[in-house]
């Protein structure tokens, strides 16, 4: 359906991408879509061109999420702006294609909390804004809301966070989708009993704290506050999986829940979800307003007694899982395929096509 789409991938010096892969986490954490998309495009022979003069779009492969903190292990992205700007300087010096369109037909990945605003805290992200040098380009980003926001005020394609397809496959081999699910409601993650005031903001807007306070003793809810490497096996045992906001509205739990057949319960007001043309979110998930967290038990009991089987039937469609997972070699309908579908709709940004005389 988009076989005439041609993408040129810049060959950048290794300090922009390959060197970061010395840390194995670089290709396997929640921001790793920047690596996964690059790999998939490198292998996409039908769409990749080695001749930049016949390219519609230009992909700039910079890994900015692999600088892990030695203090807490989390990715630090303070260097993101300077690394990306340096990459643009390199391609400007060595190729003519950025300057002729001012980056209008160039693609970057911004797989972080607030996309190309490059900060985990919303107020700081808004203050920083999207770098001016990226404002003309196309951003593939995990952040999206259904209202005006400075961190999505740029041409963008909303993408899912990265979850290893291999880990999903292994867990489904052990516990099939329609297997026994003995946990009614599941959440494992950060739930502060006394959330800290960080510049006037509270983690998860106190939503996770309220979930813990109200349901920690409820036998229907399996709530855990500490890390567990095998937590995906807990998802396969669960009927409903809570997906509350953290600092940002999106969470990798959303993809894990869908891929492992647990009905995602989205608690993040205004969140925009990826690939809505391929994934009918209203048919496979539940959305609960942040202010309605106190009614979670009642809401989920009602769904369990009425239309749960219909939701599960829709959720367990293999095409839904496929659409949210990245593969090194693109598969029809997978996450990279969905991105290319979206990019194909943006061919009005192709400088080459704009120069072709109409017949």
The Cα–Cα gap between 349 and 344 comes to: 10
Give the fold, CATH level 3, of 165-323.
Answer: Rossmann fold (3.40.50)
Q: What are the pLDDT tens digits along the chain (359 aa)?
A: 677 899 999 999 999 999 999 999 999 999 999 999 999 999 999 999 999 999 999 999 999 998 887 767 778 888 999 999 999 999 999 999 999 999 999 999 999 999 999 998 999 999 999 999 999 999 999 999 999 999 999 999 999 999 999 999 999 999 888 888 999 999 999 998 887 877 678 889 999 999 999 999 999 999 999 989 899 999 999 999 999 999 999 999 999 999 999 999 999 999 999 999 999 999 999 999 999 999 999 999 999 999 999 999 999 999 999 999 999 999 999 999 999 999 999 999 999 988 755 44
The Cβ of residue 175 has, within 10 Å, a number of other Cβ atoms equal to 17
Q: Which residue do the tokens 């061109």 mark?
A: 49
pLDDT of residue 359: 45
pTM for the whole structure: 0.94
pLDDT of residue 194: 83
- What is the percentage of the chain residues whose pLDDT exceeds 70? 98
pLDDT digits (tens, 9 = 90+) for 298-316: 999 999 999 999 999 999 9
For the chain, what percentages of helix, strand and coil (3-state, to nearest 5) are there?
40, 15, 45
Q: Is the dihedral of CA 131, 134, 135, 141 positive or negative?
A: negative
Tell me which residue of 297, 299, 171 sits closest to 237, measured CA to CA.
171
The Cα–Cα gap between 48 and 9 comes to: 7
Reduced to 3 states (helix: H, G, I; strand: E, B; else coil), residue 340 is helix
Calculate the alpha carbon distances from 20 to 88, 116, 171 in Å: 18, 19, 28
Q: Is the dihedral of CA 153, 346, 45, 96 positive or negative?
A: negative
Instruction: At 41, give phi and psi (nearest 5°).
Output: -70, -35
Token duo for residue 82: 């300077």
Residue spans in the chain of domains classed CATH 3.40.50: 165-323
- Residues written for the chain: 359
pLDDT of residue 3: 73
Question: Please, which residues have CB within 8 angstroms of residue 65's CB and are 6 or more apart in sequence?
Answer: 26, 29, 31, 32, 34, 75, 77, 111, 112
Beta strands in the chain, from DSSP E residues, in sequence order:
7-9, 57-59, 106-110, 138-141, 156-158, 183-188, 197-198, 201-202, 221-224, 238-244, 263-267, 286-287
Instruction: At 57, give phi and psi (nearest 5°).
Output: -135, 160
Token duo for residue 325: 């997972």
């Amino acid at each position: 359906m988009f076989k005439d789409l041609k993408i040129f991938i810049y060959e950048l010096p290794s300090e922009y991408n390959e060197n970061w892969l010395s840390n194995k986490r670089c290709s396997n954490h929640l921001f790793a879509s920047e690596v996964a998309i690059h790999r998939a495009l490198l292998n996409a022979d039908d769409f990749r061109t080695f001749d930049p003069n016949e390219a519609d779009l230009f992909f700039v492969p910079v890994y900015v999420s692999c600088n892990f903190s030695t203090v807490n292990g989390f990715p630090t992205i303070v260097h993101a702006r300077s690394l990306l700007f340096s990459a643009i300087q390199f391609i400007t010096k060595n190729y003519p294609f950025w300057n002729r369109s001012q980056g209008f037909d160039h693609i970057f990945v911004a797989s972080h909390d607030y996309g190309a605003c490059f900060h985990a805290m919303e107020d700081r992200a808004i203050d920083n804004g999207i770098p001016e040098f990226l404002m003309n380009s196309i951003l593939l980003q995990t952040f999206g809301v259904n209202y005006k926001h400075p961190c999505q005020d740029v041409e963008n394609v909303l993408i899912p966070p990265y979850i290893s397809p291999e880990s999903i496959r292994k867990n489904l081999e052990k516990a099939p989708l329609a297997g026994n699910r003995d946990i009614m409601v599941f959440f494992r993650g950060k739930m502060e009993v006394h959330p800290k005031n960080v510049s006037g903001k509270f983690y998860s807007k106190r939503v996770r704290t309220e979930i813990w306070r109200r349901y920690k003793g409820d036998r229907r809810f399996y709530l855990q506050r500490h890390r567990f490497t095998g937590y995906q096996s807990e998802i396969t045992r669960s009927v409903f999986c809570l997906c509350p906001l953290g600092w940002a509205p999106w969470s990798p739990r959303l993809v894990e829940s869908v891929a492992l057949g647990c009905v995602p319960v989205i608690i993040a007001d205004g969140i925009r979800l990826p690939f809505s043309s391929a994934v009918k979110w209203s048919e496979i998930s539940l959305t609960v307003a942040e202010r309605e967290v106190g009614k979670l038990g009642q809401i989920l009991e009602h769904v369990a007694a009425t239309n749960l089987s219909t939701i599960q039937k829709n959720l367990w469609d293999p095409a839904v899982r496929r659409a949210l997972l990245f593969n090194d070699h693109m598969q029809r309908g997978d996450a990279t395929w969905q991105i290319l579908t979206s990019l194909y709709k943006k061919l009005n940004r192709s400088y080459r096509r704009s120069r072709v005389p109409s017949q």
